[in-house]
Amino acid sequence: MKKFYFLIFFFFFVNESSASIKKNIVNRLNLINNISFNFEQNINDKIQKGKCVLEYPKKIFCEYSLNNKKILVSNGTSLVIKTISSYYIYPLKKTPLDIILDKNFLLNSINKSEDYYSDKNIIAFKFFKDGNEISLFFDKKTLNLKGWQSVDLYQNLNIVYLSSIVINQKIERKKFNLPTSD
């Protein structure tokens, strides 16, 4: 009989802990309008670094630390990747960033999530939408977004780590204007 009570207590404690973690992440994410951060991106073992500003809903501006002056910009509907020598434009909804930049989708998905991964440093959730699989990583102490993993348009594994995170900073709205191809 003692084992039975222990199992009930343990099950309740695990579910309460899970609900508490999810609730705390959702509460933290609800308070965020924008995030500025440094990033390290690993696409098929090729490392790129830079700085980004993400604004909900669905806007992002990233400058890469490359000689080709690569930038990535979303105005909420389109995504542009531009370098000195190239210019690519995509419908945002066809990219994994559509999910990552959609705070309402993230909030709903975290709330509905039955499972998540947790270790001493991170909490990770996995989501599926429109054929995209995304894993989001949150810092266990601050509950800030710490990175994500996805498969890009060309079926490359893309892992992004965030650092030097600043929340709800005043930002220039014109950053999210799509650059021209000239």
Residue 131: what pLDDT? 78
68-120 tens-digit pLDDT: 899 999 999 999 999 999 999 999 998 899 999 999 999 999 998 888 888 89
Q: Choose among 135, 144, 139: nearest CA to 32.
A: 144
CA distances from 56 to 31, 100, 181 (A): 11, 10, 25
Residue 18: what pLDDT? 59
Q: What domains sit in the chain, N to C, each tagged with a CATH number? A: 20-176 (2.50.20.10)
Cα(31)–Cα(110) distance, integer angstroms? 15
Residue 179: what pLDDT? 93
Q: Which two tokens stand for residue 44?
A: 């098929």
What is the enclosing helix (H) or strand (E) of 104?
Answer: helix 103-112
CA distances from 180 to 15, 80, 149 (A): 50, 9, 29
Residue pair 154/17 in contact by the 8 Å Cβ criterion: no
What is the enclosing helix (H) or strand (E) of 6?
Answer: helix 2-30
In 4-131, at which residue ranges do the beta strands (DSSP E only) sit? 34-43, 46-55, 59-64, 71-75, 78-82, 87-91, 117-118, 122-129
Q: Choose among 99, 74, 72: nearest CA to 86.
A: 72
Cβ partners under 8 Å of residue 118, min gap 6: 21, 124, 140
Residue 146: what pLDDT? 96
Q: Which stretches of the chain score pLDDT less than 50?
A: 1-16
Provide the whole-model pTM.
0.85
Residue 87: what pLDDT? 97
